[in-house]
Amino acid sequence: MKKEVFGKTPEGTQINRYTLTNQNGITIRIINYGAIITSIQTPDKNGQAGEVVLGFDNLEGYLAEHPYFGAVAGRCANRIAKGKFTLDGKEYTLAINNGPNHLHGGLKGFDKQVWTVTELSEQNALELTYTSKDGEEGYPGNLTVLVTYSLTNNNELKIDYEATTDKATPINLTNHSYFNLAAGQAEDALNHEVVLYAERYTIVDENLIPTGELPLVAGTAMDFSSPHTIGSRINQVTGGYDHNYVLTNSQNEELGLAAMVNEPQTGRQLEVYTTQPGIQFYSGNFLDGSLTGHQGEVYKKHYGFCLETQHFPDSPNQPNFPSTILKPGETFKQSTVYKFSVRNNTQE
């Protein structure tokens, strides 16, 4: 495992970048700021390595405003309506940072914290921990979070999440990587073919807060139960895809196949497995060309897409959604696997 200095925060804390590699030419870079995955390089169908996530080669990019590139979002990923919820009879008010709502943990979420790193060289893994103080961004309880990134020789990036708390608190952790498997060879990500293993999704209001209904995707532009390119029906979806799908294969909190993505030009394929009940499929609708990242790529609208495995948005206010409440004495555990491969499309 390689470790190098990446920069310093304004408070003077040194940020390091760690590089994991495997036998098949995959390279993953992670920093201890935001537990951010800054880079994933994988071979295409001709064995040519390329960058498949959006991100920056310097810390300044991450210290400036950016839309959660590669970061761990928490304490609660996604939105909580009006930043309010009631737990054990007490109302809590969270930081508001997205219109009227709380998004991805607030003003200084887990994506903007410095994490403590343990290198697990034998497992080709990196362990990052962070303790979020009672009252941070409005959340109750001291919460200790452990995120482990491991890279296997099966070309899997495995992300394991664990957490414990001393007061009951909602928790919803995800990784917010933006993928583009064309690795700089395409205008945007709209040609990626996507399958989502979901029959229903959480329909949202104009502030992207779920109404509580779980309509069927069948017969609509939301249906990715068979392969469709991101772009083929995106114009039928107001604002583009930014929806949480109810996953079919991970109902028992065991790893189940959640998504499969193929980039036809380079043959790169990505499978996503998770223990979580939902996945936010986000088609990079708010990217606007104002950020330039790896290799000078301009991150314009739809340049990357996210597959954020998670609990459903606004769960603390939705009694019918799977619970996100972690209690003292319990251990929060979730895992997600991003598996990289290539598909030789000409042989099909």
Residues forming the active site: 176, 308
Tell me if 151 sits within 8 A of 22, measured CB to CB. yes
Choose which of 282, 312, 321, 340 interacts with ligand BGC (CB under 6 A): 282
Sign for the CA dihedral angle at 173, 192, 208, 205 comes to negative
In whole angstroms, the minimum distance from the beta carbon of 307 to ligand BGC comes to: 10
Q: Is 309 in the site for ligand BGC (CB under 6 A)?
A: no
| Nearer CB in complex with ligand BGC: 67/316 | 67
**CB closer to ligand BGC, 266 vs 283:** 283
Residues 6+ apart with CB under 8 A from 87: 140, 168, 169, 170, 316, 325
Rounded to 5 degrees, what are φ and ψ at 215?
Answer: -70, 155
Question: Which one among 242, 248, 265, 327 touches ligand BGC, defined by CB under 6 A?
Answer: 242
On whether the CB atoms of residues 208 and 313 are closer than 8 A, the answer is yes
The verdict on 283 binding ligand BGC (CB under 6 A) reads no
The residue among 76, 74, 33 whose CA lies nearest residue 55 is 33
The DSSP bridge partners found for residue 72 are: 175
320 is in an annotated binding site: no
Q: Is the dihedral of CA 342, 345, 259, 38 positive or negative?
A: positive
User: Which residue's structure tokens are 């040194």?
Assistant: 14
**Is 242 among the annotated ligand-binding positions?**
yes
Which one among 44, 51, 263, 308 touches ligand BGC, defined by CB under 6 A?
A: 308
Does residue 343 have a cis bond before it (omega within 30 degrees)? no
Longest dimension (CA), the chain: 60
286 binds ligand BGC (CB under 6 A): yes
**Cβ-based nearer residue to ligand BGC, 166 or 242:** 242
Among residue numbers 153 through 172, which ones bind ligand BGC (CB under 6 A)? none
For the annotated binding site for beta-D-galactose, the residues are 78-79, 176-178, 242
List contacts with ligand BGC (CB under 6 A): 67-68, 78, 208, 242, 280, 282, 286, 308
For the annotated binding site, the residues are 78-79, 176-178, 242
